[in-house]
Amino acid sequence: MTLTLKNLAKSSLVALSVLFANITLAQDGTIYPLDAPEEPNAILLGTGGVADQPASESWFRQWGDPMARNITTATLTPFLPEPGKANGAAVIVAPGGGFRWLSMGNEGWEVAQALADQGIAAFVLKYRLHPTPESLEDFSAWMNRPRTPAPPSSSDAAREATPPRPPQLDLSNQLEDAEAAYAMILDRAEEWGVDTDRIGMIGFSAGAGLTMHSTLNSESMKLAFIGPIYGGMGPVDVPADAPPMFSVIATDDFLFRGQFGVIDSWYKAGIPVEFHLYQNGGHGFGLGNPNRTSNRWFEAFIHWLDVNEFLAAK
């Protein structure tokens, strides 16, 4: 089924209509309750639940964006191009949220719709999450807890030598979800008009981490290209068959910290890499925020896909 912003509003998938109807209420960063939207086009991935998860899936709104947490059932939602516009390329879209919640609008549905508008079949991966407090009040307090910032490195050499911080969370569930999404797209490629040699993955923040984790660790996923957007920048061990990478981050993003490790790793491995370091944009900008230099990254990404012939049948 082709999903567009227009027919999403016509269908019972009310998340976007709720978002736009109430967007002015949540521009101050306050966390607001949100009724769980219906998701009639979401396809169950059948990857199981989450151990030691007492709370049910729930939704909230922050910065005008619908977000889900305590997800125990992974799904995949297709956003397919209009008839006659599909070019055969496909992208798995992984929203971010620290593996504790998912920014479903800003880093999921909106990105997928933008890709579909370019003729690319897009699939929003709603992957399983680690538990957060059951009540919204307790969750808000947990979100607003004091944090100790990472100490700055004392020199450029130290920043370059800083190893990536080890994963704080077990990502086995998330990897299984990503692999199941990839397998489903392969299985239904003819139905969805997908060229199985041109399936990529793009992720934001923690979703960028999942994109990278899948690239480095999955034996079943053979991604044609990846796009980690404002993800971790530490160096990695690059597989010999790693896909070309398009990477984006802003200098005022707390994850940047003057590091270029993952870019250097890809470059030294001889794998094509394109990197955009923007003057500003902060973290979590999705397709873009007003008056930020990072706002043109999506256009650059589409151009990169086109130049590298991912948008044309081979």
Could you read off the pLDDT of 39-81 as tens digits, one per residue? 989 999 999 999 988 889 999 999 889 999 999 999 999 999 9
Nearest to 122 by CA among 109, 135, 140: 109
Which of 149-153, 199-203, 207-211, 215-219 is predicted least confidently?
149-153
Show me where the domains of the chain are located: 74-132+171-307
201 and 223 in contact (C-beta within 8 Å)? yes
Residues 6+ apart with CB under 8 A from 147: none
Per-residue pLDDT band for 4 (boundaries 50, 70, 90) equals: very low
Structure confidence at residue 25 (pLDDT): 37
Give the Cα separation of 89 and 192 in Å (integer): 10
Task: Judge whether residue 208 has pLDDT over 50.
Answer: yes
* 74-132+171-307 CATH: 3.40.50.1820
Q: What is the pLDDT of residues 7-37, one digit of tens each?
A: 433 332 323 333 333 333 335 689 999 999 9
Structure confidence at residue 5 (pLDDT): 37
Burial tier of 90 (Cβ tally within 10 Å: 0-12, 13-18, 19+): buried
Q: What is the pLDDT of residues 146-155, one digit of tens each?
A: 765 554 443 3
Instruction: Give the end-to-end CA distance of the chain in Å, rounded to a whole number.
Output: 25
Per-residue pLDDT band for 160 (boundaries 50, 70, 90) equals: very low
310 and 301 in contact (C-beta within 8 Å)? no
Task: Judge whether residue 301 has pLDDT over 60.
Answer: yes
Give the Cα separation of 50 and 47 in Å (integer): 10
Q: What is the pLDDT of residues 89-120, one digit of tens each?
A: 999 999 999 999 999 999 999 999 999 999 99
Which residue is listed with tokens 């979401």? 42
Structure confidence at residue 313 (pLDDT): 75
Per-residue pLDDT band for 6 (boundaries 50, 70, 90) equals: very low
Structure confidence at residue 15 (pLDDT): 32
Distance of CA 121 to the CA centre of its chain: 15
Structure confidence at residue 145 (pLDDT): 80
Per-residue pLDDT band for 314 (boundaries 50, 70, 90) equals: low
Task: Judge whether residue 197 has pLDDT over 90.
Answer: yes
Q: What is the pLDDT of residues 226-249, one digit of tens each?
A: 999 999 999 999 999 999 999 999
